[in-house]
Amino acid sequence: MKYGLILTGCAGFIGINILFKLNNDILKRYERVISIDKLGYATVYNRELYKELCNGLNIETLNINLLETSNHIKFSKEFTWDIIDLASNSHVDKSIENPYSLYEENSLITSRFLSAFEDIKSIRVFYHISTDEVYGSLPLNAKKSIWFKTNSLLKPSNPYAASKAAQDLFLLSMKHTFNLPVCIYRMANQIGNFQHPEKMIPASCLRAYRNESIKIYGNGKNMRQWTPVDITADIIVNKLNNLETFDVLHIANKNGLYDNNYIIDCLKDTINQNTGLDPKIEYINDRKGHDLCYALTTTKEIDKYFSDVNIDYVLSSVAEFYYLKKDELK
């Protein structure tokens, strides 16, 4: 039996952090390891690092759009395949600016990707990365009793979230109909290094370092579970290493539920302490359809990973990373 591993979307924020966690002890079980990424705009600052990491791990890279996978390669049924699937356009603001193209691309990615397999029965495990946004919005300061559960109704309220729900539902239908071994991760807002500067934390850091105001949507009271991406990557790689299976698993820092005002205040403080800068805050018109709160229920196993998280330390570390990167990021 020959075994192969396929990674999709690993030139992006979460994917790069997963590549850091992979090692030869895990990869030596595979005769072929392939990373597929279209190298879109969100990977522009990570591309050289991505190439270095893949070369160092002897990972074959295919720089193609998953929508066109079946035109370029067929994944042989002679292999037994494990998959970590991260490929998506992931920026809510861009999905609001151009909802049709983003929804169309994201919703079709998984079906086009699967069509490139000679036989989907050759897939041993398919780890798919999804988001808490598929559930829609909770009230602010929601009690834990109503936090989203893994069987909560999907009620996406922006085009990006709808496109991710479409991926989830297609894969679950394939699981039900064809026994596709799908395991879905739904994860909270990730915070860490190598995130594209369009996202809130890196954008705020870079604005501060340019002596510009940090911008906050609406009144800043929208709440998210801020979750360190390096710990999330640990969980995903450990699950792969042990070939653990599940239906849906939530990854979130259960003690990391903060509103944007709190996060930006902490970020301002650490930037001031480290650089002497005192960035101003500018409240701007709220995002259309801005969800108030996401909060995921998590298992005790997942909670153990995040038991020692200190959000101030995490923000300080991330702010330092973007300070060192400020001259090359736009």
Q: Of residues 82, 133, 259, 291, which has the active-site annotation?
A: 133
Residue 296 domain-assigned? yes
- Co-location of 131 and 209 in the same domain: no
**pLDDT for position 71:** 80
Q: Of residues 37, 82, 105, 132, which has the active-site annotation?
A: 132
- Co-location of 155 and 211 in the same domain: no
Q: Answer whether 166's CB lies under 8 Å from 133's CB.
A: no
Pairing of strands 257-259, 123-131: unpaired
pLDDT tens, 267-294?
Answer: 999 999 999 999 999 999 999 989 999 9
276 exposure class (CB count in 10 Å sphere: 0-12, 13-18, 19+): exposed
> Which residues, other chains included, contact 15 with Cβ-Cβ below 8 Å and sequence gap of 6+?
7, 9, 37, 50, 86
- Co-location of 239 and 273 in the same domain: no
Answer yes or no: 283 catalytic.
Answer: no
- Co-location of 118 and 54 in the same domain: yes
pLDDT tens, 119-173?
Answer: 999 999 999 999 999 999 999 989 999 999 999 999 999 999 999 999 999 999 9
What is the domain-level CATH number for residue 55? 3.40.50.720
pLDDT tens, 94-118?
Answer: 677 777 888 999 999 999 999 999 9
- Co-location of 142 and 284 in the same domain: no
pTM: 0.96
**pLDDT for position 317:** 97
DSSP 147: S
Q: Answer whether 83's CB lies under 8 Å from 6's CB.
A: yes
Residue 315 domain-assigned? yes
What is the domain-level CATH number for residue 215? 3.90.25.10
- Co-location of 180 and 269 in the same domain: no
Structural domain of residue 115, as residue ranges? 2-190+225-251
Residue 330 domain-assigned? no
- Co-location of 169 and 125 in the same domain: yes
- Co-location of 242 and 260 in the same domain: no
Residue 158 domain-assigned? yes
- Co-location of 157 and 132 in the same domain: yes
Q: Mind giving me the DSSP string for 160-174?
A: HHHHHHHHHHHHHHH
Residue 240 domain-assigned? yes
Answer yes or no: 320 catalytic.
Answer: no
On average, the pLDDT of the chain sits at 95
- Co-location of 269 and 318 in the same domain: yes
Does residue 234 have a pLDDT over 90?
yes
Using CA atoms of 107, 92, 230, 88 in order, give the dihedral in degrees to the nearest 10.
20
Answer yes or no: 160 catalytic.
Answer: yes
Q: Of residues 160, 209, 258, 305, which has the active-site annotation?
A: 160
Residue 60 domain-assigned? yes
- Co-location of 203 and 155 in the same domain: no
Q: With bands split at pLDDT 50, 70 and 90, how would you rate the model's confidence at 298?
A: very high
Q: Answer whether 82's CB lies under 8 Å from 240's CB.
A: yes
Q: With bands split at pLDDT 50, 70 and 90, how would you rate the model's confidence at 46?
A: very high
Residue 85 domain-assigned? yes
- Co-location of 161 and 209 in the same domain: no
What's the structural domain count of the chain? 2
pLDDT tens, 168-206?
Answer: 999 999 999 999 999 999 999 999 999 999 999 999 999
Residue 25 domain-assigned? yes
Summarize the confidence of residues 210-221 as an average pLDDT: 96
